[in-house]
Amino acid sequence: MSLILRTAGRRGFIAAALALASTLAMAQGGTQAPIRLVVPFTPGTGIDLIARQVGPRLAERLGRPVVVDNKAGASGNIGTQEVVRAPADGATLLVTVNTLVMNRALYPKAGFDPLKDLDPVTLTSWGQLLLVTSKKSGIQTAQDLVQRAKAKPGSINYGSPGAGTPHHLAMELVKNQAKIEMTHVPYRGTGPAVTDLLGGTIDAMFLPIHVALQHVKAGNLNALAISSDKPSPLLPQVPPLRQLNMGNLDVEMWYGILAPKGTPKDFVAKLNTELKSILALPETKAAFETQGMTPAHSTPEQFGTLMSKDANRWAEVIKAQGITAD
């Protein structure tokens, strides 16, 4: 009887060892099973461009197919949750933006915690937001905006693609730091908001630089300030937000890649190394610049630290301003 049990035990151990070896082999690229890059937003966004830019090059380096899968909805929560629930075998990755950690405070019942349920792989880029106003508003500078808001609290209407988006929280940070009141007008998407901004229905808005650029150059919008520490080469005449001297007005958007919690560290390290090379390519830089993004790389640990710091900072803004996802 004891011999049978010992034999069964050995068989169980061998089976478990083989299963583990199979999982590690898959995670280390020893299979042709495709890697899925989940983008939790619609095609055509900056996040989508990142996935489609790095995907083919990652496939070449790992020797396995890489496919982009757009899973939009609930401010990115639907696609994110799918990655959180995916097996930690290296076959599913998340390509996302700092909305990920903003949502942590906005959606406490989302069913996951991005700081606990995902493993950071690397930062991929930084993106700038541009503070713009309609021509009809008559607001020409960031100082004008602040002065008018102080003189007539709530009289300035500003738009966003929805509550809790970076565009929304960036303006709420300005409001918080400048001690001013403006009226938020949320839209379902960037397009309708831009249409009303151009028509003068709303006065101001934060927009990704690639969205605002054509309208600024055509003279249809006033560019007041940019979120980066220094002027962008795309609009060198537009000053940085820090010119307002109102404390921490860092509203840059970061983008990055993450994996389900527990993904083998060797595979995460390999991904990080390969992505570092991809992000350094001149063609990657050129493609990112069309979306107003600058390629960036980090270690998984550095990316995790950035996420944690940003989550806490935006949670404080959300609480201070009484912001909800409704």
Instruction: Round to whole Å and give the CA distance between 81 and 111.
Output: 8
Quick one: average pLDDT of 302-324?
93
Rounded to an integer, the average pLDDT of 9-18 is 42
What single DSSP character describes residue 133? E
Rounded to an integer, the average pLDDT of 127-149 is 94
pLDDT at residue 206 in the model: 95
User: Of the candidates 115, 47, 113, 112, which has an alpha carbon nearest to the alpha carbon of residue 309?
Assistant: 115
pLDDT tens-place string over residues 142-200: 999 999 999 999 999 999 988 888 899 999 999 988 899 999 999 988 889 999 999 99
Token pair of 70 as six digits: 């757009």
Of 9-13, 96-100, 314-318, the least confident: 9-13
Q: What is the mean pLDDT of residues 45-60?
A: 94
Q: What pLDDT score was predicted for residue 292?
A: 83
| ∠ CA 174-43-191, rounded to 5° | 50
At position 224, the amino acid (one-letter code) is L
Q: Look up the pTM and report it.
A: 0.82
| Residue 2 reports pLDDT greater than 90 | no
Confidence bin at 11 (pLDDT 50/70/90): very low
Q: 173, 156, 318, 168: which is closest to 241 by C-alpha?
A: 173
3-state class (DSSP) for residue 295: strand
pLDDT value at residue 113 = 96
CA distance 134 to 160: 14
DSSP-derived 3-state class of residue 308: helix
Residue 24: both structure tokens together: 């590690």
Q: How confident is the model at residue 10 (pLDDT cuts 50, 70, 90)?
A: very low
